[in-house]
A and B are shown apart, each in its own frame.
Chain A
Amino acid sequence: QKEVEQNSGPLSVPEGAIASLNCTYSDRGSQSFFWYRQYSGKSPELIMFIYSNGDKEDGRFTAQLNKASQYVSLLIRDSQPSDSATYLCAVSHNNAGNMLTFGGGTRLMVKP
């Protein structure tokens, strides 16, 4: 069973703080890892992807991947109220037709 697990939250952080979102996955065959942001009533928006162990930075966002621990995380620096949304972790499996398996999402609330 391929599973992706996320804490549903809500995760509440003050404006300007670092928000840390975590995700674990069960299938060691997972190849690619994605973070999507989803505002209420909207569709998922791709914000980060990572394919290799280590860190990947893009502006205020940093994705971290540890394949040995089957763990991927997203850090948001200088959190803004506009970052308040649900963050979905997704993994892609090389032998599974390129489909994405999503976690249930973590709701982030950034308080002014």
Chain B
Amino acid sequence: GAGVSQTPSNKVTEKGKYVELRCDPISGHTALYWYRQSLGQGPEFLIYFQGTGAADDSGLPNDRFFAVRPEGSVSTLKIQRTERGDSAVYLCASSARPDPSYNEQFFGPGTRLTVL
């Protein structure tokens, strides 16, 4: 079956611009996560959706970052007034099980964001 998909695969933008990154989870997966990975580091958690609601947004670095999942499937990560420090690979993952003790997450290919 199809895995997690993300678009675009690469995004180059200028400082101060607005960007949207899209994630389409594995069909039937109710949990969706956004992570950010900088070069040479492990992914860092940004936000977690269970269904349509953001169950945990404690990883969002500031109010320039926002994410939605209006119908409980596709999610969009939105970044306003981008800064050079936002440059990273943005990873989306989904999980089938709502039980926090059994939480295998499967990652999409990521979106590489470059802010010039």
Contacts and interface: CB of A to CB of B under 8 A. Distances in A.
Interface residues of B, number: 29
B85 interface: no
Contacts of A42: 109
B44 A46 contact: no
Nearest to A8: B40
Given A100-B45, A102-B44, A104-B42, A32 B58 contact: no
B100 A31 contact: yes
B55 interface: yes
A9 B6 CA distance: 30
A88 interface: yes
A46 B104 contact: yes
A43 interface: yes
Contacts of B56: 96-99
Nearest to A94: B100
Contacts of A45: 107
Given A94-B100, A98-B100, A98-B103, A43 B108 contact: yes
Contacts of B105: 34, 46, 100
Contacts of A36: 107
Interface in A75-105: 88, 90, 92-94, 96-105
Most chain B beta carbons < 10 A, residue from A36, A43, A45, A49:
A43
Nearest to B101: A31
Nearest to A88: B42
A51 interface: yes
Nearest to A89: B42
Closest 6 CB pairs of A and B: A97-B56, A102-B42, A99-B45, A43-B107, A98-B100, A43-B110
10 contacts: A43-B107, A46-B104, A46-B106, A51-B101, A98-B56, A98-B95, A99-B59, A100-B45, A100-B103, A104-B40
